[in-house]
Amino acid sequence: MDPVSLDPEIAVVLEQLNAHPLARFEGMTPQQARDLLAETFPPVFEPPVARVEDLQIVVADDPGGVIGARLYHPAPGETLPLVVFFHGGGWVWGTLDQSEGDCRLMAAVGNVAVLSVDYRLAPEHRFPAAADDAVAATRWALHHAAELGADPSRVGVAGDSAGGNLSAVATLALRGESAGTDPLKAQLLIYPAVDCDLDRPSMHTYGEGYLLERVHMDWFYDHYAPDRVGASDPRLTPLFAGSHAGLPPAVVLLAEVDVLRDEGEAYAAVLQEAGVPCDLIVAKGLIHGFIGFWPASVAAREAYEGGIRRFAALLAAEG
């Protein structure tokens, strides 16, 4: 590992995390990893947001299905764009509380309402449960945006890591769907997991010592999609959808030092080849998970805020 290539503040964070028991979570059960994560990273209740409200999304095609969500609205009384946000965590961990600071910063910097979705986690709910929840929650948001103080014609999706996967999945599933709603306006994919190939070069170059490791991705997939069930299904690997034409404009925000970098770049490329406007940003010197490190790293905060601003501009664009 060559710390010289890392942002100095991120290098300090990484040194601390590599010395923590959570660095070897591949030897834990999912619940042990979740408990340790919650103990290690308490919620960040900054920056302030005027309205924060817990909601329930009732899944239309499943009367008994309810998905938890949390709304962040920075300017009650104003009709703002709406972002449906999916947290990371390899489809195995992550909560509304753990993505609190990320959503607050997005709402404040982008001047957007953010609906954070508490989708089902594996292994209790394996593939395609999280994907199904992502599609259902996004569809619900398109229908109910006005009730949330948002503009139904300016709804986008965003997420990091597994949440970036779910954001891409939702845009593919809802492409061309009308049912009385406007189409999705934009997507922000933050170091998304879009392919379950663990032999891409970045998987080996950054596969050990940089927080998210190659063995960790194997652990996540083993819990979410054992034996890579659905590996050719775009609900798991959106990179391999039959077509990416007609998707909303995208911002793909990647970390330079990340096992998922190659597949993120590949996804940006297929979007561009399909004629989808796509702004690819590779944050130099940063590692996977950097949007959660913005309180400790100026570079992480600047990269995340830069991605938010470009995404917000897409949501605000006319036409």
| Residues with catalytic function | 161, 258, 288
**Phi, psi for 254 (deg, rounded to 5):** -115, 160
Residues 6+ apart with CB under 8 A from 94: 87, 88, 121, 162, 163
H and E: helices and strands count for the chain: 9, 8
Q: Beta strand pairing status for 51-58 and 66-73?
A: antiparallel
Which 8-state DSSP code applies to residue 81?
E
- Residue 209: which region, alpha, beta or left (left: phi > 0; alpha: psi -120 to 50)? left
* 8 A C-beta contact, residue 86 and residue 117: yes
| 150: amino acid identity, one letter | A
Burial of 176 per CB tally in 10 Å (0-12, 13-18, 19+): exposed
| 302: amino acid identity, one letter | E
